[in-house]
Amino acid sequence: MIEVADAMTSAGPQSASEGRPTTRSRRGAKLSIVIPMHNEEQVLNMLFQRLDEVSARLGLAIEFVCVDDGSRDETLLMLQELAARDARLRVLPLARNFGKEAALTAGLDHITGDLVVPLDADLQDPPELIEEFISLWEQGYDVVYGIRSDRTSDSVAKRLTAGWFYKVFNSVADYPIPPNTGDFRLMDRIVVDALRQLPERNRFNKGLFAWVGFRQIGVPYVRPPRAAGTSSWASPALWRLAFDGITSFSTTPLRIWSVVGVSAAGLASLYAAFLILRVLIFGRDVPGYASLMVVVLFCFAVQMVAIGIMGEYLGRLYQEVKGRPIYIVRK
């Protein structure tokens, strides 16, 4: 049983729905399914078997835009063989591994459909849910996203860190994202066209999906284990993605250190006044070496953290100014 999260009562982009959505019809529409891939040879046959079963029930034209993100196994060769037998499949090989955010951007840039569904190849986002997504799109929603209501297939560490990330991100970001959502969603072409107008190089697509707005609604689902193979996402990559997301959509970390600096200056002024009064009242005083070193080292540590955070923002500005393309297509 699929439970639909009401767009009118939930926080985040779900609350962007105002008024009554206009109904649509899927008749004559075309669906583009964008699938970024990196070393997915073990799951390809299962993936397209499931997609064929789903496609037969949807009642609309379909294309599969498969982006090979610099795979080192037989993924690209298998995709080319499948494309030779199935005219619906389009293969977009990138010149190297640019990362999932860039690969998804490449796929969105090359779709031709009226509806677009980004889908992971590992089948942790069940393609059978697309039919429910389309039904809600017909009710007038521009974005229908999946909510991972049950993530027991993930490790405890991953569930905890994911929960922390959503709490931190939504507490500092100007445009919060619904907790436990990924890239799996259905978007109207008008939403994709809006996303394609955003030129930033450091992409955090979940944040961009929330930023563009439009009428959005969530569909909770139980996330199954990976169908085969191993994930390309290691812990360092996930941490980098999380930090990219926070720095791309919030300047709160910079503001925090402004507050810390003002507070430290105020405390220092009060302590200086205390020392002056103590000398005036009790005479000359020689401060202890230990307490002095504690204060100096603490201030030094605070300054290094502040400089590090400013460096992260400066590094992202440097990447944007260079204006390099987000991805390069091999052919």
Residues 284 and 224 reside in one and the same domain:
no
- 173 lies in the same domain as 25: yes
Shared-domain flag, residues 181 and 162? yes
Going by the DSSP 8-state scheme, the letter that residue 288 receives in this structure is -
Q: Do 224 and 102 belong to one domain?
A: yes
Place of tokens 């955010």: 101
Among 22-31, 93-102, 235-244, 271-280, where is mean pLDDT lowest?
A: 235-244
Structure-block tokens of residue 265: 């200056």
Question: Packing angle between helix 44-58 and helix 75-85, nearest 10 degrees?
Answer: 30
Digit-coded pLDDT (tens) for 100-122: 888 888 889 888 888 999 998 88
Among 249, 279, 303, which residue terminates a domain? 249
- Asked whether residue 230 is domain-assigned, the answer is yes
Residues 106 and 64: their CA atoms lie apart, in Å, by: 13
What single-letter DSSP state applies at residue 20?
A: P
Q: Is the pLDDT of residue 14 over 50?
A: no
Does 297 fall in a domain? yes
**pLDDT at position 328:** 83
CA distance 15 to 6: 9
Let me know whether 109 and 194 are in one domain: yes
284 three-state secondary structure: coil
204 plus 268 within the same structural domain: no
The confidence score (pLDDT) of residue 1 equals: 35
Given 249, 282, 297, the domain boundary residue is: 249
Residues 258 and 245 in one domain: no
Q: Same domain, yes or no, for 225 and 156?
A: yes
- 245 and 294 in a single domain? The answer is no
Question: Is the distance from CB of 131 to CB of 235 less than 8 angstroms?
Answer: no
Element (H, E) at 253: helix 252-282
**Weakest-pLDDT range from 42-46, 112-116, 279-283:** 279-283
Of the listed ranges 77-86, 156-165, 262-271, 280-289, the one predicted with least confidence = 280-289
Q: What's the pLDDT tens digit per position in 130-160?
A: 888 988 888 888 888 888 876 665 666 666 7
The domain tally of the chain equals 2
The answer for residues whose C-beta is within 8 angstroms of residue 269's C-beta and 6 or more apart is none
pLDDT score, position 118: 92
Q: Which of 249, 264, 296 is the last residue of a domain?
A: 249
CATH number of the domain to which 172 belongs: 3.90.550.10
Residue 328 lies in a domain: no
Residue 118 lies in a domain: yes
**Is 212 in contact with 191 (CB distance < 8 Å)?**
yes
Exposed, middle or buried by CB within 10 Å (0-12, 13-18, 19+), for 149?
middle
Could you tell me the residue range of the domain that residue 186 belongs to?
12-249
Dmax (CA) for the chain in angstroms is: 93
- The answer to whether the CB of 112 falls within 8 A of the CB of 30 is yes
**Residues 145, 268: one domain?**
no
